[in-house]
Amino acid sequence: MPLSADRSRVLDAMPDAVYLIDPDTSRIVDCNVAAHAELGMNRSEILNHSVLSLQKDVKGLPQWSEIAGVIRVQGDYTFIGRHAHVDGSEIPVEVNTRCVHIDGREWFISVARNISRRVLFQCELAERNKRVEAWRVLYEVADGVWDWKVSDGSLHFSPGLKQMLGYGPDEMKPVLATWEDSVHPEDKPLVMRILGEHLAGRRARYEAMYRLRNRNGHYLWVHDRGRVVEWNESGESERVVGMLQDITDMKSLEAELQRHATRDALTGLFNRRRGEELLQQSLLLMKRMESPLALCLLDLDHFKQVNDLYGHLVGDSVLEQVSALLREAIRETDLLFRWGGEELVLALPNTDLPSAIGMLDQLRNQLAGMRIESDGVSLQITASLGLAMYPDDGRNLTELIGQADSALYAAKLGGRNCLRWIGRPDAAAPIAV
């Protein structure tokens, strides 16, 4: 039953959507302009719809029949739901429906009001209340909270922050310089740059991990995060608030885990995994520079006898002292790591064959002349060394290790306590050193 022309003009002037609905089927019989315009449709399109196709929160005819029964009993009925827009989006609505009788026929008239702004405001208000409560809790329980007024440089420190740094509640002058002067000199340039970029709008927030001096002069590791919350009329940052977290223990654990992940627990040298990674990097660098690299496998002679005769504690001490001697003797650019057991790998970047032979033979002699003292035992140890050269003996780690291992085997067959380089099997004249 379409509305009369006069009634249609009145309803079209209303800002809210008005629908005339068949109570039995939920079919839309008529509507005003606001109804179909708000959903992105024309009038003929919306008349092909029903409450079930437009209202996202009414599922199926049985639910509609229950709602219709309530409307008939109550006379007026309010429903909060979502209307489907033609583009697939949803519009939150508050629908007020009344049952009317016209010319002996029962109809539902629904007035649907778009409550998007109300919903947005409620969400924002709820979120604001959550933030206020969260800030209150953080202020009480966080390691440290700060509030900085940029224009005059005043900086409020929470009691927790002062306590973290070893100060009383009435100490720490509330100015930016108090904090700035406590930042570790090595960290300050980066921290101030990050803070400046946030103030200038080039970073969404300020976040930095750095060292901060406490009252005793010791440095704590902190995770510092903050954000501009107020701007002046010129659009410049006016107020910044943030939170400090003491991460000293985490940093210590991280350093310890990193050390264990890359270092051999006994000798303190790089472990095999990390040593191979660094050696690969060194090989790539030598390739770019077109420079040679000497790779040596070093094996302690008769080491099993040391363990058998004197015990593994003495054997461990031997490995520690040998590693310390080699570490002190090599260049900063050289790479020394434990390959496994009593075998070590020594890489000498940018070193040709004659230089490598001279350096390694000198190391062998130093080691042979070393007196090792451990647990009341005094002994000497020697080593056999196998040498391979990049790129002549191999162009990757696998080839070089294979060549060095063959040379090491030759050194052991040659009586031990010696250095051997045999070159590649296809070399015209292999040389024994």
Quick: pLDDT tens for 373-384: 888 889 999 999
Total structural domains within the chain: 3
Q: Which residues, in sequence order, are CB contacts of 277 under 8 Å at separation 6+?
A: none
* pLDDT greater at residue 374 or residue 408: 408
Same-domain check for residues 167 and 291 = no
> Does one domain contain both 179 and 221?
yes
Range of the domain at 321: 263-421
Where a domain ends, among 213, 247, 281? Answer: 247
pLDDT attached to residue 140: 60
Residues 59 and 41: their CA atoms lie apart, in Å, by 22
pLDDT at 354 over 60: yes
What are the pLDDT digits (tens) for 73-96? Answer: 988 899 889 999 999 999 999 999
Please give the average per-residue pLDDT across 20-37, as a whole number: 92
Q: What are phi and psi of 333, to 5 degrees?
A: -80, -10
Per-residue confidence (pLDDT) for residue 257, from 0 to 100: 67
Instruction: Give the CATH number, domain containing residue 285.
Output: 3.30.70.270
Q: Are residues 60 and 174 in the same domain?
A: no
With beta carbons less than 8 A apart as the criterion, state whether 256 and 231 touch: no
> Can you say whether residue 159 is alpha, beta or left, with left for phi > 0 and alpha for psi between -120 and 50 degrees?
alpha
Q: Is residue 234 pLDDT above 70, yes or no? A: yes
The pLDDT score that the predictor gives to residue 431 is 43
Lowest-confidence pick of 62-66, 285-289, 333-337, 420-424 = 420-424
- Whether residues 290 and 242 share a domain: the answer is no
- Give backbone dihedrals phi and psi of 163, rounded to 5 degrees, phi first: -65, -40
**Stretch 308-314: mean pLDDT:** 90
328 band by pLDDT with thresholds 50, 70 and 90: very high
Are 84 and 148 contained in the same domain? Answer: no
Closest by Cα among 119, 121, 126, 99 to 110: 99
What is the pTM assigned to this prediction? 0.46
Report the phi/psi class of residue 376: left, alpha or beta, with left for phi > 0 and alpha for psi in -120 to 50: left
The CA distances from residue 135 to 130, 141, 147, in Å, are 8, 10, 12
Mean pLDDT of 229-242: 89
HEC string of 11-53?
A: HHCCCCEEEEECCCCCEEEEECHHHHHHCCCCHHHHCCCEHHH
What is the phi-psi region of residue 338: left when phi exceeds 0, alpha when psi lies from -120 to 50, beta otherwise?
A: beta
Task: Answer for the pair 334, 284: CB distance below 8 angstroms, yes or no.
Answer: no
Residue 25's Cβ-count burial label (10 Å; 0-12, 13-18, 19+) is: middle
